[in-house]
Amino acid sequence: MRKIITMLLTILPMLAYAQQSETIQLNEGWQFSQMNSDQWYDADVPGSVQRDLVRHGVLPDPFYGTNEEQLQWVEDVNWDFKKTFNVSAAQLQHDEALLQFEGLDTHAEVFLNGSRILRTQNMFIGYEVRVKELLIEGENNLYIRFHSPIEAMMPARNSFGYDYPAVNDHREEKLSIYSRKAPYHFGWDWGIRIVQMGIWKPVSLLLYNDARIEDYYVKQQLVTEEKAEIEHQLTIHALTKGDATLSYGYALNGKVLKSEQKEMYLAAGVNNLSFPATITDPQRWMPVNWGEQHLYDFFVTVTRGDHLIAEKHLRTGLRTVRLVQEPDEHGRSFYFEVNGIPLFAKGANYIPGEIFTTQQDEAYYENIFDQITDANMNFVRVWGGGIYENEEFYRQADERGILIWQDFIFACAPYPSDDLFLTNVREEAIYNIKRLRNHPSLAFWCGNNEIDEALTYWGWDKQYPKEVMQAWQEGYDKTFRQLLPLLVEEHDGTRSYIHGSPYDANWGNTEKFASSDVHDWGLWYGHLPFEAMAERLPRFASEFGFQSFPEMKTIRSFAPEEQWALESEVMQVHQKATTGNSLIKKYMEMYFPEPKSFEDFVYMGLVMQGNGMEESVEAMRRGRPYCMGALYWQINDDWPVVSWSSIDYYGNWKAQHYRMRNVLAPLALGVDEKEGMLHYYTLSDYLSDRNDLTLTVQVIDFTKGIQKEFREKVSATANASTIVKSYKLSDLLNEDEKAHTMLHAFLTDSNGEVISRKEHFFYWPNRLKLPLTTIESSVEYADGEYRVTLFSEKLAKDLFLEIPVQGARFSDNFINLLPGQQRTIVIRSPQLKAADRTAVTVKHMRETY
């Protein structure tokens, strides 16, 4: 960024910052204590009281055993933070001083040198306070009291007389909905409860002269291949009135393409400026697999005479994204169009990946986006029970071509809608719309998660009086149908908005599936089999999912061996969904033989989740253009727990994540077995046809190997799902062979390179005759990398390699090792050392029952 500005400066007349503006970081040297206690501890900022108390050993590791309970008292107590900092006489010479708190969690009173300068009640807003008159030369004192959210909100509850139906809030008194604070801190059906307090984003002191550019928005009015019409929107805060020169322009790949100047008059106070610009032949930002993610650097500077007084830079991509909801022959469409082209949204729902939110550092974001990209996703939903994510999240998405569905942070419960509450929400919405609107990855805004669905379908009308229900309904309309869309229009003005997700449908009432996005919990909560998902495709699946236990390596991290049982005390603390275990068991009885042990149960559950979810996702992808999105619930965990995630807390891929990588590949092979036929599909996201492909289908007996092989030249139609070849099942095998035969199909290009594979079984394992077999394996050990070579004479289904290193990455896992086949799997982790010869263990389905 500096580079761009410097570059710009070289082409402007000689300028200098007469008195440089200066930012003093105030994140170091904080201390905190329980209110009225003399015991002060060092605080990490950004951080939280609970995170620091764990760090200091005052609280135990919350993830281990049943320790969660031992952290709970902290939420009932007030906590004080203090810090001193020095300001020099020269620094005091600046015209203005702003204390900047990017995020305080949540109910805070801030004091500076004896004056109360700020009261906050919203963790999602960054606050700035003018403190020029309060600063003194030498040592300054900052003091913050964080009020217990419980204490702060209890009176609201007491005066209401009811508890809200906020079932994911794991305390008897439901207070989460009163506080503009991350809902998931209060617990969830996959979430530990740690209701944190603290300084969760950076603090700084900005000293400046003359003027400041508070905000800069490059609003994209129209973007085509030929031109981009944009509007520069600037908010400049000037301390003194007078003439000034505005320079603005843009660069691409470090090359300044345009730089212009404008004379203007700045009034003292806030100046809102806006002026149009046209960029011809723009290099457009494309989603992953559609082209490059071109990012332009836009810059503005304000000068007076030969003094540079303010500057701002932002990076954005030029593109259009539109949610298309139009009547059609089925009902109403629900799909995203990017740069005018319909896009099938492939991806997942994302929750904050750390209960200690502030542990989400840059490495965290890079890592989670590696997993997103590696699984071939192009869309991620930031779900409304978490947080508006940090800048780095959206920056990663911009660079990788991942589109973001952004919920406003409301989920699964009614919320108050009184004037004070809505004033707070208004400020939060404006702040976050402005903060995020320059990101090309941000595709659209959604009012909340499931509140509309809940008001209609979750039976609250039987628990609450009519007047209460009516007030909640009116409050819903006020917040999500009136206030938020107005603010999106006013402060964004380019993106679509829906009042909530699902938009209209409910999974128990399929008649609206043809005209809405759907959270299809028919699978799981509705006890429907995986196969049923193909028969009830929605226009867009914004949630659907299936639970599994994390692998044993992760269970071992929190449970001693004597607790390895489904209903043990420790395992129950780590299973937050009330019907979770019984549903896993029920489905397992539908599909699998009885596992021999707890460890086999865990393994089998992972396989069930992976294979079942692959089936559902593939059906959705085959179902385009009717169905245009598959965002499964959920990609990640915020602590080690049983959940619907496809990656566990320690970064271990569950079977599902490998299956997603296959089924979401930009060009994947799909198969649909239907009425005695077998239809092979190409599922393509590419924007051009592929005509150089060969489809090979092998009929493989579990013991005897390949029985038949078919080969066809096929084409993959661009951006479509197409049947490329159909077989009569009876031409491939007899009915009684189905229990010991599978199909192995693969697509190759003209060089014989395999592009996609599809393995098809006719039954789930309880109806398969899987052979007993011995796996021969050998390992080549190197630092950082083990190569495991595997061979089996007979089929080894869903073969799972395990290594006791958290987060180790496997080139593949849960594989079907075909009869007579040799496969090499590479395991990578910086913790792997050649000399250690860490044990790699192997398990496959037939061994587990």
Q: Residue numbers of the site for ligand NHV (CB under 6 A)?
A: 188-190, 385, 411-412, 449-450, 458, 519, 521, 525, 543, 633, 644
Q: Is the dihedral of CA 639, 640, 646, 651 positive or negative?
A: positive
Q: Provide the minimum distance between the beta carbon of 456 and ligand NHV in the complex, in angstroms, as a whole number.
A: 11
| Residues 313/297, Cβ–Cβ less than 8 Å | yes
- Min. distance of Cβ 577 from ligand NHV in angstroms? 6
3-class DSSP assignment, residue 743: strand
Q: Give the integer Cα–Cα distance in Å for 610 and 655.
A: 5
d(C-alpha 516, C-alpha 541), whole Å:
9
Q: From the CB of 188, what's the least distance to ligand NHV, in Å?
A: 6
**Three-point CA angle 627, 633, 638, nearest 5°:** 155
CB of 635 to ligand NHV, least distance (A): 12
Q: Are 163 and 157 in contact (CB under 8 A)?
A: yes
Residue 173, token pair as written in the block = 């008194």
Q: How many helices (H) and strands (E) would you count in the chain?
A: 16, 44
Distance in Å, CB of 574 to ligand NHV, minimum: 15
169 versus 543: smaller Cβ distance to ligand NHV: 543
**Closer CB to ligand NHV, 449 or 756, in the complex:** 449
Q: How far is the CB of 347 from ligand NHV (least distance, A)?
A: 15
CB 660 → ligand NHV: shortest distance, Å?
A: 18
CB of 349 to ligand NHV, least distance (A): 7
Specify the residue, 428 or 450, whose C-beta has the smaller distance to ligand NHV: 450
Compare residues 189 and 798 and give the one whose CB is closer to ligand NHV: 189
Taking every pair of C-alpha atoms in the chain, what is the biggest distance, in angstroms?
91
Q: SS3 for 493?
A: coil
CB-wise, 124 or 544, nearer to ligand NHV? 544
Q: Which is nearer to ligand NHV, 487 or 505 (CB)?
A: 505
Distance separating alpha carbons of residues 206 and 104, to the nearest angstrom:
18
H or E, element range at 113:
none
**Tokens at residue 414, please?**
């009614």
Beta bridge partners of 779: 788
**C-alpha atoms less than 13 angstroms from C-alpha of 749 in its C-beta half-sphere:** 9
For ligand NHV, the closer CB: 605 or 670? 605
Confirm if 230 and 280 have CB atoms less than 8 A apart: no
| Residue number, 198 or 612, with CB nearest to ligand NHV | 612
Give burial (CB, 10 Å; 0-12/13-18/19+) of 223.
buried
In whole angstroms, how close is the CB of 633 to ligand NHV at the nearest point?
5
- Scored b (16 or more CB within 10 A) or e, 375-409 reads bbbbbbbbbbbbbbbbebbbbbbbebbbbbbbbbb
Q: How far is the CB of 163 from ligand NHV (least distance, A)?
A: 18
Residue by residue, DSSP assigns 341-367 as EEE-EEEEEE--S-SSGGG--HHHHHH
Judged by DSSP in three states, 527 sits in: coil
Cβ proximity to ligand NHV, 190 vs 388, nearer residue: 190
Q: For residues 381 and 491, which CB has a smaller minimum distance to ligand NHV in the complex?
A: 381
Which tokens belong to 196? Answer: 């944190």
Output the smallest distance, CB 506 to ligand NHV, in A: 9
In the beta sheet, which residues pair with residue 683? 668, 721
Which C-beta is closer to ligand NHV: that of 191 or that of 765?
191
Residue facing ligand NHV at closest CB distance: 525
Structure tokens at 183: 């809902």
